[in-house]
Structure 1
Amino acid sequence: MVYIDGQSLPVHEARILNPGLWDRRTKTTYTKSVLPAPSGRLCLKAYSPYYRVEWAQTWTEDDLRLSKKIDEIVSLLISAASDLKVLLSEANKKAEEEHEQWQVARAIFQAEQQRLVIEKAREDSLKSLLKIIDRWSESRKVDDLFDDIVARSASLTERERSEILAKVKDARELIASPDSTEALRLWDSPPPLPSE
């Protein structure tokens, strides 16, 4: 192709229109291009519309018009149809196998995710229970301390004993011992272990 006066022309047409371009004496320059350009010939392309079946056939007009090749094209398409049917059934089988493999992998992934969620819930539940036990243990220590103080105050005078018991009462109200049964009732029990 040659670009002359704003249009691309085949080289043989450009030589006819402007023979001076190839005259070495005038040294006229022109731009050559190897990009595809319309040739004026018809082209017919048949291909498989199925995603997994790759098949294509192209017919281009050369000396004969495509209309004269119709019988040949039709017979070729009919013979290719049986081959395409086999290729399509193989592609469908392969697609089904891949889908089954994907479903198995997905089921394994989901089971693993579910197992991880259950393990995390059990771990969180254990931590929560241990916190309840720690609070109860601290509460018991405080109660034991106050009980010991009350027991020792028996040997004191009535006035000293009433002062100590008042302080113990104020201290117990300040600390407010948690109710262990209420804490256990509010605790989230863990889900069962996942089955293997």
Structure 2
Amino acid sequence: MVTREELYELVWSTPMIKVAEKFEVSGSYLARVCTELRVPRPERGYWAKLAVGKAPQRPALPEPLPGDPVVWSRADGLPAPAMPKPRLASTPRIPRPARPVVGIHGLIRGAKTRFLAGRKVDDEVHLKPYKKLLVDITASRSGIDKALDFANDLFNALESAGHRVVIAPPDAQFRREHIDEKEVPPKKEPRYDPYGYNRPWSPFRPTVVYVDSIAFGLAVIEMTESVEMRYVNGKYIRESEHVPPKTRRNVDHTWTTTRDLPSGRMRLVVYSPYRSVSWSAPYHETKARTLTQDIPQIVTSIEREVAPMIEKMQEAERQAEIWRLERLAEEERRRQEDDRRRIALSVKESREQLEQVIQAWSKVIRLEEFFRGVEDRAQPLPASERRAVLERLRLAREFVGTQDPLDFFRGWKTPLERYVPLSKRSPETQPTQGDDDDDENFDEAGW
């Protein structure tokens, strides 16, 4: 495992080809690693200039941006972005680039080809690409160009304002907000679809924009509208496109139904990808105004949400800490209750066993007294009769067996031998609460 700082020192102290040999990779591969880690490397001819004292001063290692990888391992391949820890500052630091960002954004470049290369669907249905690691856009075949153009303009505007737009890091564990595609929400919840056949496509990881170090999820979807459809000649067409027969001879054996079809109008949902904070803000396109016209206001509104988002995250952390302490207190309470229960059980079982030992002891003593009494009474008998009695006494002893009362007592287990209370344990495992109660309960039990 190599950190950015270690790789930076290596490539500026040793030629790249030797560093690559050390890691058993090619020089071009190591250059790609440096690019992914945003580690500056010497230009061609640097070592020759260094030998004659004309090499330029090496640039400083830049700070990693949110979503940047910070370590690399040869076994893991090219580095994957690491989850940045949000900087919960009261006043966010929003850097501004020197010039506006234009052109095709990296997340949009080549995305159309991947969206079209998916499952076969009707032209008036949302596309369902096979690739899941794509920008969070859901649109139909006819609306994909408009959705990509809007997303590209939005991403460039956010980048121009100093905010980084990326697919969420793999270890960030961000959630994706549920995006409703219907332009007019239904009056009642639709039937749950466990297999997702009727649900729109969704990406494997959300698309996020980092404002300072706070992430906001971005999802663009082409809204659907309720359209009356007519079944004609084996397929459904829009009622507006249906031409009824002009003569009575051609009977029109058709019927109508209602379906939700993509409307060509877009919806942007900006949401909190953090599982501890629930927040979202939808932006709708209308027939009179496109979302592209509202991009400056959208960027400004996202920036305004940084401070409230920080407050929500701080409150979520506070509530999580309260819940953690309550859970620890509940676990400690259950532990103490279990300790008291096991103390009482050990006392009960120990007392019962001791009573059994006493009863066994008494039985053995009575047998010994009986056998001794028989033996004493047999002494004055005539020799032949005495031998017969003593022989029967020997058989009786063998039948009963030899028992030592001390063996019963040695087998008795005290309460502490059965269970060691928390208060009697070593300091490493001794809890900080409930010790006095345990001692009191143990003493009240009578041991």
Normalised-by-shorter TM-score class: 0.7 to 0.9
AA aligned to 1:37 is L
Cα deviation for residue 53 of structure 1 reads 1.9
2:281 aligned counterpart, secondary structure: strand
Q: How does 1:18-167 map to 2 (within 5 A)?
A: 18=242, 20=244, 30-33=255-258, 35-62=259-286, 63-167=288-392
TM normalised by structure 2 equals: 0.39
Listed one character per residue, the Cα deviations across residues 137-191 of structure 1 (whole Å, up to 9, x for unaligned) are 1111111111111222233222222221221122112101421222222332222
Tell me which residue corresponds to 2:408: 183
Answer whether contact 2:361 2:408 (CA < 8 A) is retained. Answer: no
Q: Secondary structure at the match of 1:7?
A: strand
Aligned partner of 1:7 in structure 2 is: 236
CA contact (8 A) 1:136 1:178 kept: no
TM-score (norm 1): 0.83
Name the CA distance, whole Å, in 1 between partners of 2:265 and 2:253.
31
Q: Which runs of 4+ in 1 moved over 6 A?
A: none
What is the deviation of 1:123?
2.1
Q: 1:22-62 CA distances to partner (integer Å, 9 max, x unpaired)?
A: xxxx88763232x5331111111011112232211111221
Q: Give the number of aligned pairs.
A: 186
After superposition, the CA RMSD in angstroms is: 2.3
Mapped partners of 1:85, 1:31: distance in 2: 51
CA contact (8 A) 2:360 2:408 kept: no
* Matched-pair contact (CA < 8 Å) for 1:42–1:60: yes
Q: Is the 8 A contact 1:3 1:31 kept in 2?
A: yes
Kindly name which structure, 1 or 2, has the bigger radius of gyration based on alpha carbons. Answer: 1
2:71 alignment partner in structure 1: none
Matched residue of 2:304: which SS?
Answer: helix
Deviation of residue 64 (structure 1)? Answer: 2.2
Unmatched 5+ stretches in structure 2? 1-226, 246-250, 422-437, 441-447
Structure 2 CA distance for aligned equivalents of residues 182 and 59 of structure 1: 85
Whether the 8 Å CA contact 2:244–2:252 is kept in 1: the answer is no
Instruction: Give yes or no for the alignment of 1:195 onto 2:432.
Output: no
Q: Answer 1 or 2: higher relative contact order, Cα 8 Å, separation at least 6.
A: 1
Aligned with 1:51: secondary structure? coil
| Structure 1 unaligned residues grouped into runs of 5+ | none
Structure 1 residues 49-103: Cα deviation after superposition (integer angstroms, max 9, x where no partner): 1223221111122122222211000111111121111111112111110110011
Rounded Cα–Cα distance in structure 2 between residues aligned with 1:89 and 1:77: 18
